[in-house]
Each structure stands twice: as structure tokens, then as C-alpha cells.
Structure 1
Amino acid sequence: MKFIFSCVDKKDHAHVRAENRPAHLEYLNQFIDHIVVAGPTLGADYESMTGSLLILEFDDDTAAQEFALNDPYNKAGLFEQVTITPWKQALPK
């Protein structure tokens, strides 16, 4: 099952994102076979990072939640909100 992870950064936490980015990327690389897409959401300036959007494939909700809980960004308190939504890909087939 594929899951959408929609994460919104806390206001004025760009320093937390920057400090934890290497650990976050290292963590994601451990799940490279599960990743459909992953990347930061951007502000109106098209440069500042405001959150994260990821689509990953896991066997169940528990695995998806565990992934989100153990993300270094989450552990560092970067996110104001994290939403995990099951998703079915329609296109491309």
C-alpha cells in the first residue's frame, strides 16, 4: 500500500530543518526501495522549505507510522503537523 506523508514545518524552524537535513537524508536512503517520490514543499519564493511531501510504499499503517515517528526531522520537533494518508496510484499505470 502506498502512503502520502504530508508534513508542515513549524514557523521559524528553518534552522531545525538545516541542522537535521543530513540525518533525514541518510534515514530516507535506508528506505530507498520504498520511496515513490520525496521532497520538500516550498514557500512563495520557490526556495525556502516549508515542509515535506513523500509517497512511500509499506505493508501496513503500522509500518508507515513507524517510519514517520523515526524520521530525524520528526524527532527534532520540526513538524507542526504530519498527515499520513493511504493512496492508490491511478496514473501512470
Structure 2
Amino acid sequence: MPYMIETYDAPERAHVRQERYAEHLEFLAEHAQLLLACGAKLADDGTHAEGGIYLVDLETREEAEAFIARDPFSRGNLFRDVVIRRWRKAYLNGECFL
């Protein structure tokens, strides 16, 4: 069953996002086969990211925890909080899976 990983940036560590961005993109490319979707959560004015959402095709919470722990943003201590939840795919790209 897929997992949703929601991250919340620590505002005082916002510089980590810039410093590790290229490495983060490489990490995502290396794990593209696991990604159903992912992207940054933006501030309402769209000027900066405040965290992210990853929908990952993994079987266990432990795999989801290990995945986000290897992300360069995690290794750089960018996140103030990470929430991991099982996710049931109902609609994706306009297609119903129920």
C-alpha cells in the first residue's frame, strides 16, 4: 500500500533547501520508480517552499521512514516535522482506482 510523506520545513533552516536542492533532485531521479507524485508545498504567495509531499509506492512504514531519512533534505536537517501515513489511491491523473 502506498504511503504519503508530508514534510514541514524548519524556517530557520531554509538555507538547507537551496544548498541541497540539486542533490535532492538527484535522489528523486534515482528513486523515480517509487514516486507516484511529489512536490513542494508553497507559501500562499508562492515565493518559497515550506515543506513537501511525497506519495511513494512502498510496502511498509519502515520503508517509508528509511526513504525520507535518505533524502538530502532530511540528512541536512531541513525538516522540523515529518508525518507518514498510509495512502489509498482513489483517483490519480483523473483515473479512478476504486
**Normalised by the shorter chain, which TM-score bucket?**
over 0.9
- The aligned counterpart of 2:51 is 51
Over residues 6-57 of structure 1, what are the superposed CA-to-partner deviations in whole Å (9 max), with x where a residue is unaligned?
0000013221100001111111111101111110000021121110111010
* Secondary structure of 1:12's aligned partner: helix
Output the amino acid matched with 1:32.
Answer: A
Task: Please give the TM-score of this superposition, normalised by the length of structure 2.
Answer: 0.89
- The aligned counterpart of 1:76 is 76
CA distance, structure 2, for counterparts of residue 29 and residue 23 of structure 1:
10
Identical positions, percent: 27
Q: Please state how far the C-alpha of 1:59 moved relative to its aligned partner.
A: 2.0
**Within 5 A, what are the aligned runs for 1:1-93?**
1-91=1-91, 92-93=96-97
Task: Please give the TM-score of this superposition, normalised by the length of structure 1.
Answer: 0.93
Over residues 50-88 of structure 1, what are the superposed CA-to-partner deviations in whole Å (9 max), with x where a residue is unaligned?
101110101222211110111110010100000110011
Unaligned runs of 5+ in 1: none
CA distance, structure 2, for counterparts of residue 62 and residue 13 of structure 1:
26
Output the amino acid matched with 1:46.
Answer: G
- The CA RMSD over aligned residues, in Å, is 1.0
CA distance, structure 2, for counterparts of residue 43 and residue 59 of structure 1:
31
CA distance, structure 2, for counterparts of residue 4 and residue 37 of structure 1:
9
CA distance, structure 2, for counterparts of residue 14 and residue 80 of structure 1:
11
Output the amino acid matched with 2:44.
Answer: A
CA distance, structure 2, for counterparts of residue 25 and residue 66 of structure 1:
17
